[in-house]
Amino acid sequence: MNRFLRNIALFSVGLIACFSTMYAINVVTSVFNAPRVESETLIVGNSHMQQALNPAFFESAQNISQSAEPLYVTYWKLKKLLPLSSVSTVVLGFSYLNLSPLSNRKLSDERWSTTLFNRVYTIADIESLEGVEVDRLEFYRSKFKNMCLYPKWDHASYMGEYFNFDKSVLSPPDEDIARHYLRDGENVDISKVDIAFLDSIVALSARENVELILVAAPIHESYFKRIPDHFIAGFEDTKRELEARGIRVLDYSKLDVADEEFLNVTHLNERGATRFSKLISEQIATSD
């Protein structure tokens, strides 16, 4: 019996040593191979920015937006990247949807939590998420899997890129409105968490001497008409407060865009993104 226990203990020690070695290797590679943005303009946000702004139409830009990205993840990314970059301008996607608390449920949603944790395990500060439910077990499981099981060279899975489609599928906005603004059929309130992290992004940009420009990409008229009134009022109030603090807000949510330039009611397609990218690029260039 003692021999059996001794063998178990030796095996456990060996296993812990192996995991510790893999963790140490991955800490080194995550630091050594940390991404550094060389472009002057950094485009960040969720899928609405990811598919709205093609960096090819900017003088020097990179789009690192990702689908379903809450503002706190954008803040973590900027906190990691800005001190190591040559960025002079951050273009942040900001619209009505960014005020909804429903996007903050993704870290406890079994359909999304694993995907998000696998992106941000090296930059996440889950202790800062007051008022956000986090599946901590899934977070640490994802971190263990990515840091302790095998050596990895690339840990920058939080870095997105521009992509789009050359098609248009305009369906009724009912499902999108329900997913973005309703819980159990009732309107949700404006998210205090997102407002707080928006303020954090403003403060971070100021500390890093980076110009922050907020951009609201076009949305289809059928979707806009269904947005709850208090979200429209909240967005307008937030926009006025930001502009009073010297932050540029380019609100093109109601820009006249042809149906064939929309991918769906909330995203531009390749054709729409080309026109919109040129517009925003010109706006940024004329402000320099």
Decide if 77 contacts 123 (C-beta within 8 A). yes
Residue 11: the pLDDT is 67
Q: Which residue has the higher pLDDT, 189 or 11?
A: 189
> Which residues 6+ apart lie within 8 Å of 164 measured at CB?
51, 54, 263, 268, 269, 270, 273
**Closest by Cα among 207, 44, 196 to 128:** 196
The stretch 270-278 carries a mean pLDDT of 97
Structure confidence at residue 287 as a pLDDT band (50, 70, 90): low
CATH code, domain with 113: 3.40.50.1110
**Closest by Cα among 157, 190, 164, 194 to 49:** 164
The per-residue b/e assignment along 161-200, b for 16 or more CB within 10 angstroms, e otherwise, is ebebeeebeeeebeebbeebbeeeeeebebbebbbebbeb
Beta bridge pairs of residue 90: 42, 212
The stretch 33-42 carries a mean pLDDT of 93
DSSP 222-277: HHHTTS-HHHHHHHHHHHHHHHHTT-EEEE-TT----GGGBSSSS-B-HHHHHHHH
Query: Tens of pLDDT along 67-114?
Result: 999 999 999 999 999 998 999 999 999 999 999 998 888 888 888 899
Tell me how far apart the alpha carbons of residues 180 and 99 are, in angstroms, rounded to a whole number: 10
Domain membership of residue 18 (yes or no) is: no
pLDDT at 3 exceeding the cut of 80: no
The model's pTM: 0.94
From start to end of the chain, where are the E strands?
41-44, 61-63, 89-93, 182-183, 186-187, 211-216, 248-251
Query: Tens of pLDDT along 248-273?
Result: 999 999 999 999 999 999 999 999 99
Structural element, H or E, at residue 22: helix 2-32
Residue 207 token pair: 């500390």
Q: Which residue has the higher pLDDT, 8 or 279?
A: 279
Select the highest-mean-pLDDT range: 15-24, 100-109, 121-130, 223-232: 223-232
The stretch 33-59 carries a mean pLDDT of 95
Tell me how far apart the alpha carbons of residues 242 and 240 are, in angstroms, rounded to a whole number: 5
Q: Which residue has the higher pLDDT, 6 or 50?
A: 50
The average confidence (pLDDT) of the chain is 93
Place of tokens 């967005």: 235
Residue 4: the pLDDT is 66
pLDDT at 131 exceeding the cut of 90: no
Beta bridge pairs of residue 91: 43, 213
Domain membership of residue 27 (yes or no) is: no
Domain membership of residue 91 (yes or no) is: yes
Split into its structural domains, the chain has a count of 1
> Which residues 6+ apart lie within 8 Å of 275 measured at CB?
257, 261
Query: Tens of pLDDT along 210-246?
Result: 999 999 999 999 999 999 999 999 999 999 999 999 9
Residue 135: the pLDDT is 94
Place of tokens 């890129």: 161
Q: Of the ranges 38-42, 91-95, 111-115, 138-142, which one carries the lowest mean pLDDT score?
A: 111-115
Query: Tens of pLDDT along 48-67?
Result: 999 999 999 999 999 999 99
For 129, the domain range is 33-287
